[in-house]
Structure 1
Amino acid sequence: MQNHNPKPQIFLVHFAGGSVYSFQFLKEHFQEYDFIPIELPGRGNRIRERILQDFSAAARDLYLQIVSKLKSPNFLLYGHSMGALLVLRIASLLELDGYIPQAIVVSGNAGPGISSSKIRHLLPDEQFKNELKILGGMPDEVLDNKELYEFVEPIIRADFKIAETSQRKEVLTPVNSPIYALMGDAESKVDKIENWKTYTLSTFKYEVLEGGHFFIYDNAMALSGVIKAAIKDN
């Protein structure tokens, strides 16, 4: 890792079905930062690559991307929903290499072990589509367009499998970075947000904002404020 670039780096990991473009709505708030969204194979700039369905493989793929882009000792990891679980594992992998994020910011997820009773990635097509409508975050023009939906459906199912199997099979351990957690007040597991406290050996803070699972889109200013404060506080 080179230290000649003084800009703090923000690495962003997308939610299920997301891509490198999922956080464009935040970019304008980070003009003075190195803003680096990354993505899993099978979508966005990596559309020709094989889709991953394994949590450990997904975390390692993203970890390798981050290591290859690290230029500053002042960096932060942010992940939403599935991405929140992945950044926790990525932080552990980075620690093994001697890289400790200034902080981890997680949103839309109550943390490891707090799983839904639904196993969405195994649902029949219509039920799966209804779940996507309930969660929000995907335009109706995609859900209602047969060709578009058939294109994104296997990507989203694979991502749900990554997230859901991680909740049941993976052992995620505490990291040395502070954790800042955010959830929407209408999310089903919002009362469990303090679960994240057990996954840091440092400080923990949380905030509940107005909205459902994709509350981040209506709270760009608040979310960017939390990320900036997290990287400045440490």
Structure 2
Amino acid sequence: MEPAIDNMPEVIEELLLYKDFITSKPYAFFGHSLGSRISYALACELHTLGLPLPSKVFASASRAPHCTSNKKYLHDLPHDAFIAKLRDLNGTPKEVLDNAELMELLIPLLRADFKIADTYVAEQHALPTPIHVFHGVEDEILDEHILAWQALTAQPCTYKYFDGGHFFIHQYGEEMINIINQQLT
């Protein structure tokens, strides 16, 4: 029943409540879409605080956080248009979208997430942590916004491209896990 968080600073503030737990053992970050930008923002804040950093950041299906989105904002679409866009994105199960009562509970959360995704632009800060980017070749993210992740690490940035759109992760999840495991060993 709490209001949904709709801005990156507040998301990071909440996550920092767990900074001692997060940094207590060697770790890596994986984020898909907005989660990639949250992972980067949290790693930047941990770096600023002088805390242990992730051994690697895995960014999936996301423009580099310092790039301005080239897409029309979704968070402020009228209700029916917002639901239609969720259907088009093909990331929310049809059973959820068709359940009006459940959607009434989820819409404020989804709008808040989309507001962050639509509006957040990070300051460019090159982390000492390597970044590995996963990208679906049919996703609507500009190539220059994918390649721009390199500017956010002092290490070489690596890239893996998959067939598919924004939710290529559903088809290639096992392969992605294998790549992550290989890079972490």
TM-score, length-scaled by structure 2: 0.90
Is the CA contact 2:124–2:151 (under 8 Å) kept in the aligned structure 1? no
1:114-154 deviation digits (Å, cap 9, x = unpaired): 41331111111111112111211101111122111111111
Query: What secondary structure is seen at the aligned counterpart in 1 of 2:150?
Result: helix
Match of 1:11 in 2: none
1:24-56 CA-partner distances (Å, limit 9, x unpaired): xxxxxxxxxxxxxxxxxxxxxxxx544211111
Report whether the alignment pairs 1:228 with 2:153.
no
- Give the equivalent residue in structure 1 for 2:36: 84
Question: Superposed, which structure 2 residues align to 1:1-234 within 5 Å?
Answer: 48-72=1-25, 74-95=26-47, 96-112=49-65, 113-167=67-121, 170-189=122-141, 191-192=143-144, 193-232=146-185
Rate the CA distance shift 1:218–1:102 in 2: closer, same or farther, 3 A: same
Q: CA contact under 8 A between 1:187 and 1:212: conserved in structure 2?
A: yes
Query: Is the CA contact (8 Å cut-off) linking 1:100 and 1:177 kept in structure 2?
Result: yes
Cα RMSD of the aligned pairs, angstroms, is 1.6
In structure 2, C-alpha distance between the alignment counterparts of 1:66 and 1:208, rounded to whole Å: 32
Q: Which amino acid aligns with 1:115?
A: S
Asked whether the equivalents of residues 184 and 190 of structure 1 are also in contact (C-alpha less than 8 Å), the reply is: no
Native 8 Å contact 1:59 1:87 kept in 2? no
Number of residue-to-residue matches in the alignment: 182
TM-score (norm 1): 0.73
**Gaps in structure 2 of 5+ consecutive residues:** none
Cα distance, 1:172 vs structure 2: 4.0
CA distance in 2, matches of 1:174, 1:230: 20
Deviations 1:57-115 (A, max 9, x none): 1122123324334331x210111101111111111111123312110000011212141
**Counterpart contact for 1:180–1:230, Cα < 8 Å:** no
Any unmatched runs of 5+ in structure 1? 1-47
The amino acid across from 1:174 in the alignment is A
* Runs of 4+ in structure 1 over 6 Å off: none
Task: Supply the distance in 2 between the matched residues of 1:69 and 1:143 (Cα, whole angstroms).
Answer: 34
Q: 1:166-205 CA deviation, whole Å, 9 max, x = no partner? A: 13xx424221100000011210115232111111111210
Q: Conserved in 1, the CA contact under 8 Å of 2:32 and 2:59?
A: yes
8 Å Cα contact 1:55/1:165 also seen in 2? no
Q: Taking every aligned residue pair, what percent have the same amino acid on both sides?
A: 30
